[in-house]
Chain A
C-alpha cells in the first residue's frame, strides 16, 4: 500500500492508502477531517470540494495518490481559530446555510470563485455554483452571502 504525503491545512500529513482511495476518503477516514462531505457518487453535488494546489476540486473525483505532494486546504483550514474567513462570516450573517451538509463545499467553491472573479454579479455567482447542490436554501441566501463577502473582501 503506497504512503501518501500531502500538506493539509499547512501541516504535512502522511498515511498509507490503497491506490483506489479517493482524496475525500483519505481526508475523512485517514486524517479525520470530516468537514468535507460526500453527497453523491456522480461527481455533481460538490459537498466534497477542497482546494488542491490553490484551486477548488471535487475530492470525490481525485485519487489520494494523485494529490501526493500537493497542498490541500479543507474547510477546517479556512478559519484562524475563532476568526472566521470573510466568506464563512458572510454565510452566517446572511443565513446561507440550513442543514449545513453542503456548506463546506459551498464555502470552498465560493473562496475559489472570489479568487478568480473578485466582484461577481448575481448571474455569475449562480453560474459559478453549477457544481454545488443545496437542497435547503434555494440558493437565495448563498448567493447573497457570496455577494456580500465579495463586497467585504
Chain B
C-alpha cells in the first residue's frame, strides 16, 4: 500500500471541502473493498477521508411506506435491524448474506453502492426496490444511479448520505455465490411494490440490470411458474473461471424463481 494522508472530518461540509482540495482523494466508509484494492497497489489515493465521525450518516428509520438507511450503516446492522426485518425482510436477508460476518461488521450500504461492483448485492436490492439515493446535494433514483461496471451517477466530490427504500408488498432475494470469492455470481432481487414488480439482477452482467419480461409476467402472476420459461440472453453477460455467460443466464432464471418463492 502506498502512503496517503488520512482525515476524519466531523461534518459533511468538512468532508466535501477535503474532497475538493486534494489530488486524488477517496472517501473511506467500511473499507472492505477499498483497502484490499489499495493493498494490491491497484489504487493509490492521495488522501483517505474517513467518514466514521461524520454525523448524519447513521441510523435506520421507518416512516410509513419508506425505510431510510444511513450511508454508514453496516451490513450487520441492517441484517439485525428489527425495522428492516419487519418492513423489508428480503433486504435484511440480503445484507446478512454480504461477504462474511467479519466483513458485515465493517462494510456499509453507502460504500457498497458507491463502488457499484458488478457482483455486489446491494445494487440489486436498490434497483428492484426503486430506492432513492440521497447525497449531500440531491436525490437520485436507483434507475439513474447505477451506470455500469464500477460506475455511478455520483459526481467526483459527491457524498452519499443515505438510501430510502419504498416498502414493498413482497420481496425476495436469491443469490448464487461464486464458489471461491462468494460474491454474487448471480443474485436476483424481486420486489412487488404497489402493483408493479421489479426484477434486478446482479453478478451476471457488467452492472446491475432489470429483466422487463419477468417483471411483466410477475405483475400478472406473482409466482415462480410465471417466469420459469423466461430467460435472459447470454450475450454480454460476464464470464470467468467459475461460470460462463450461458451458465449465468440459466442461473438468472433459477435465482429469479427462487427469489419469488422466498417472497411468497
A is bound by B: yes
Q: Which of A56, A61, A113, A116 contacts B35 (CB 8 A)?
A: A61
From 29 to 77 in chain B, residues with beta carbon under 8 angstroms from any chain A beta carbon are: 31-32, 35-36, 38-40, 48, 50, 52, 76
Q: Find out whether the CB atom of B4 lies under 8 angstroms from the CB atom of A20.
A: yes
A16 in the interface, Cβ–Cβ < 8 Å?
no
Q: Find out whether the CB atom of A109 lies under 8 angstroms from the CB atom of B102.
A: yes
Q: Find out whether the CB atom of A112 lies under 8 angstroms from the CB atom of B101.
A: yes
Binds B, one of A41-49, A72-80, A82-90, A142-150: A41-49
Contacts known (A43-B32, A63-B31); A57 close to B4, Cβ less than 8 A: no
Q: For residue B54, give the distance in angstroms from its CB to the closest CB of chain A.
A: 14
Residues of B within 8 A of A130 (CB): 100-101, 182
Q: Which of B3, B52, B100, B105 contacts A66 (CB 8 A)?
A: B52
Q: Find out whether the CB atom of B102 lies under 8 angstroms from the CB atom of A63.
A: no
**Complex Cα distance A125/B76, Å?**
17
Q: Find out whether the CB atom of B103 lies under 8 angstroms from the CB atom of A66.
A: no
B150 in the interface, Cβ–Cβ < 8 Å?
no
Q: Which of A18, A46, A55, A58 contacts B76 (CB 8 A)?
A: A55
**Complex Cα distance A43/B1, Å?**
14
Residues of B within 8 A of A112 (CB): 101
**Complex Cα distance A113/B76, Å?**
12
A19 in the interface, Cβ–Cβ < 8 Å?
yes
Q: For residue A1, give the distance in angstroms from its CB to the closest CB of chain B.
A: 10
Contacts known (A43-B36, A63-B31); A19 close to B4, Cβ less than 8 A: yes
Q: For residue A120, give the distance in angstroms from its CB to the closest CB of chain B.
A: 12
Contacts known (A42-B36, A66-B50); A131 close to B3, Cβ less than 8 A: no
**Complex Cα distance A31/B182, Å?**
33
Q: Which of B6, B48, B99, B105 has the most CB of A within 10 A?
A: B105
Contacts known (A43-B32, A61-B106, A62-B106); A2 close to B6, Cβ less than 8 A: yes
Q: Find out whether the CB atom of A20 lies under 8 angstroms from the CB atom of B2.
A: yes
Residues of A within 8 A of B76 (CB): 55
Q: Find out whether the CB atom of B4 lies under 8 angstroms from the CB atom of A49.
A: no
Q: How many residues of chain A get a CB closer than 8 Å to chain B's CBs?
A: 29
Residue interface bits A11-47, CB-to-B below 8 A is 1, else 0: 0000000111010000000000000000001111010
B235 in the interface, Cβ–Cβ < 8 Å?
no
Residues of A within 8 A of B31 (CB): 61-63, 66
Q: Find out whether the CB atom of A128 lies under 8 angstroms from the CB atom of B48.
A: no
B240 in the interface, Cβ–Cβ < 8 Å?
no
Q: For residue A21, give the distance in angstroms from its CB to the closest CB of chain B.
A: 9
Q: For residue A27, give the distance in angstroms from its CB to the closest CB of chain B.
A: 16
**Complex Cα distance A44/B179, Å?**
13
Residues of A within 8 A of B101 (CB): 56, 109, 112-113, 116, 128, 130-131
B5 in the interface, Cβ–Cβ < 8 Å?
yes
From 100 to 116 in chain B, residues with beta carbon under 8 angstroms from any chain A beta carbon are: 100-103, 105-106
Residues of A within 8 A of B6 (CB): 2, 19, 63, 65
**Complex Cα distance A63/B105, Å?**
15
Q: Find out whether the CB atom of B35 lies under 8 angstroms from the CB atom of A19.
A: no
9 residue pairs A–B, Cβ–Cβ below 8 Å: A19-B6, A41-B36, A55-B76, A56-B102, A57-B102, A57-B106, A60-B39, A62-B106, A116-B101
Residues of B bordering A, CB below 8 Å: 1-6, 28, 31-32, 35-36, 38-40, 48, 50, 52, 76, 80, 99-103, 105-106, 181-182
* Sample of 15 more A-B contacts, CB < 8 Å, known A130-B101, A131-B99: A19-B48, A22-B1, A41-B36, A42-B36, A43-B103, A46-B102, A58-B102, A60-B39, A63-B6, A63-B48, A66-B31, A113-B101, A116-B101, A131-B102, A132-B100
The 9 lowest CB-CB distance pairs between A and B, nearest first, are A131-B100, A130-B100, A19-B6, A20-B1, A55-B105, A131-B102, A58-B102, A43-B36, A61-B35
